[in-house]
Each structure stands twice: as C-alpha cells, then as structure tokens.
Amino acid sequence: MKIRSVDVKVLKLPLDQPYTAGGRAVGANWHVMAEITTEDGVTGFGYIVALNQMFIGTVAEATRELAPLLTGMSVAEPEAAWRKMGRAGDWVGPGGLLHYAIAPLDIAIWDAFGKTLGQPVSRMLGGARDRLPVYASDGFWYSLSLDDLAASARQAFDAGFRAVKLRVGNEKHPDGEVARVKAVRDAVGPSVSIMTDATESWSVDRAIRTGKALQEAGVVWIEDPVSHTDIAGMARVTAALDVPVATGEHLYRIADFTRLLEARGTGIALIDLGRIGGVTPWRHVASLAHGFGVPVGGHVLPEIHVHLLTAVPNAQVVEYVPRSAALLRKMPAISDGTLVVPEGGGFGLELDHDAVRRFTV
C-alpha cells in the first residue's frame, strides 16, 4: 500500500460552446491532475477543475512540491498524509492555494486506497446508500435567452434529470428572475424541481425581496444570494425565506463552516472539494453539518461527489456538471433522476489515456 511515485499534469479541455458564468467568459475547463502509484502497482488519480488558466500553473507546481512528501507513505492513511502536507505548507495556508494543491493528491490517495481494498470510496466512508437524486447544472447560464434556457431544460429532462439549477442575479427586477424560472417550468412541467443560483450578486435587502418572489414561483432553493463573507447577511436572508438558502462552496476551512452553521447562515451546506482540500476534510465538514441538522451538497465534480454524498446520512442531492467527462471512459450512470455510484474499487472511474495525452498542456 506504500506510495512509490506521483505524477502531476495540467490539462486544458476546450469547450465546444463557451459561456458566461458569474460575469466571466469561460472557454475551457482547466485541470490539475495527480496520479499516485503504489509499490503494489495500484494507481489512483484525482484532480481539481478551474474555469480559467489564472494560477493553474502555480497550483500544479505546488502540488508537485508536495508530492515527494507522500513517497513511502501508505494510501491506507489519508489523514496522516493530509496532515503532513498541511503542515509542510502551513505558511501559505490553511485554505487558498494550499488546499487546492493538496486536493488532487488527497483524492488520488482515496482512489488508490479503495482500489487496493477492492471497495468503492462511498462504502469506505459510510455507505449510506448507493445513489442520490441528481440535478442538471450545466447549460443554464446568465447568457442564455429564455428560449435557449427552455431548450436546455427540455434536453435535461429528456436525459433523465428531474431537477435543474438556473443562474439568476443578472436581471434588474425580480420579475425578470421569475420569468427565467417560468420559462423552465413551462418547458418541463410541474414534476421537475427548480433550484436557483444567484452567484453572490445581490445585497441582503434585494436577496430577501427577490428570494420571496422566487419562492412564490416555486423554486426549491436559492444559492449564494449574497457574498459568502457576509455571514450575518446570509443569516438574515435564511431567516426571511421559507425555501432553504444553499451556500458554502467558497469556504476553505472547517472553521469557516463552523461560523456559518453557528450563525444559522445556511439551510444547505455546499462543500467544494478543491477549496476544502479533498476528501479527507470534506467528510469532517459533512459530519459537522450533520451535527447542526443541516443537509450537505457538493459543488461540481459529480463523479467524485456521488461517492462522498452517498456515504453520509445528511446528503440531499448531487450537482451534475460534467467538466471532466472527456477525460473518462464513462461518467456515473443516471437512473430515474438519480446518480448511481459506479461499481469497482476507489471512485470506479477509468481514465481515457489517449484523451489525457491529448489535453495535457
């Protein structure tokens, strides 16, 4: 089980259809990937994804600098490995660059650990279930017209999704945001759940005003209505609305989630695998939220998050944004509106090595 070698790559996956998200143009999905090989010949891999090239090279170099620390360590001791990497880089952490650099290595360790045991990570972390409801989150951007938004919703429905998430926050009046929800509702009917993501674009007062309009329109959650730094404001919005506020994807530390949860600043805690630093700390945040009676969700990387979320009792739904699908032989299956945990050890994923070579920068 001891680690023999680690390889780190940067990959660029160009998009066929660029889009605008959070006010930024997105033309490619950038990856920092780590592959760990044990002395027994088992290989595990992990990666983080970013929407632009800025600092990708820096993260990759930091990951490469951390990698030699793992040589000779056992993949059966991910907590010890994380602590060793965290201590080595604590002068630039916790959080930020350090967590992004650790995440691909930590994910790869868990993948190799699961493959060594012949068990899926979902079962190793608790095995609460083998599938979870999934929502489509790709193709519902600000930049789409109402007709294009409706077409994306119909396409998602035809692909088996029974929930979708729209980006809002770009309209001058709440009625404009409601119109986006209505366009999707008219396209897919009453059986589909509709989430909204405001990408931190509103003031507290506007979030409350628009949030009430959106909940009247039938949405099931409102994500990131105000800045993640405004915990008091998030708590005001959460208290004012009947539908849950979902937030947390911009937080880097367990202590940040503790403050958010103590303030009653969210109804659904969203955990970003890169920002939190990988699987090892992710599970601690999920347990923390469970103690507060708060459900959890992931942020992107559905092929990894399906394992983490199905492992814990307080998970609600998986976000489906297949930003890494071109690197894999296949994505986890969608069945009856749920994402199913793949069979096999580790994360049950197989790299398309020709694609990896083609996209490596």
* Sign of the torsion angle spanned by Cα atoms 164, 50, 296, 196: negative
User: What is the rounded distance in angstroms from the CA atom of residue 189 to the CA atom of residue 185?
Assistant: 5
Exposure b/e, 115-136, CB count within 10 A at least 16 = b? bbbeebbbbbbebeeebbbbbb
Mean pLDDT within 294-323: 97
- Using DSSP bridges, classify how beta strands 334-335 and 338-340 pair: parallel, antiparallel or unpaired: antiparallel
pLDDT value at 216 more than 90: yes
Cα dihedral sign for 152, 155, 159, 162? positive
Between residues 37 and 22, the one the model is more confident about: 37
Provide the 3-class DSSP secondary structure of residue 129.
coil
pLDDT band at 213 (very low <50, low <70, confident <90, very high): very high
pLDDT tens digits, residue range 220-231?
Answer: 999 999 999 999
Length of the chain: 361
Contact 100, 59 (CB under 8 A): yes
Strand duo 193-197 + 221-223: pairing: parallel
Q: Is the pLDDT of residue 183 over 80?
A: yes
Q: Phi, psi (5° rounding) for residue 292?
A: -90, 0
Per-residue pLDDT averaged across 273-281, rounded? 98
Q: What does the pLDDT average to over 40-48?
A: 98
**Across all residues in the chain, what is the average pLDDT?**
96
Q: Give the model's pLDDT for residue 22.
A: 65
What DSSP designation does 277 have? T
pLDDT digit string, tens, across residues 14-27: 998 887 766 678 88
**pLDDT band for position 83 (50/70/90)?**
very high
Comparing CA positions, the residue from 265, 339, 272, 275 lying closest to residue 301 is 272
The pLDDT tens digits of the residues spanning 117-176 come to: 999 999 999 999 999 999 999 989 888 899 999 999 999 999 999 999 999 999 999 999
As to burial, measured by CB atoms within 10 angstroms (0-12 exposed, 13-18 middle, 19+ buried), residue 172 is exposed
Burial of 25 (0-12, 13-18, 19+ CB in 10 A): exposed
* pLDDT for res 207: 98
**Mean pLDDT of the 212-237 span:** 98
- 115 Cβ partners below 8 Å, 6+ apart? 42, 43, 44, 344, 345, 346
pLDDT band at 301 (very low <50, low <70, confident <90, very high): very high
Q: What percent of the chain has pLDDT over 90?
A: 95
- Tell me: pLDDT of 194 over 70: yes
- Residue 335's CB is within 10 A of a number of other CB atoms, namely 11
The position carrying tokens 């580790």 is: 346
The contacts of residue 229 (CB under 8 Å, 6+ apart) are none
Distances in whole angstroms, Cα of residue 231 to Cα of each of 95, 189, 355:
18, 35, 42
Using pLDDT thresholds of 50, 70 and 90, give the confidence band for residue 72. Answer: very high
- 327-333: long-range contacts (C-beta < 8 A, 24 or more apart)? 327/11, 327/13, 327/31, 327/33, 327/47, 327/351, 327/352, 327/355, 327/356, 327/359, 328/303, 328/352, 331/302, 331/303, 332/302, 332/303, 332/306
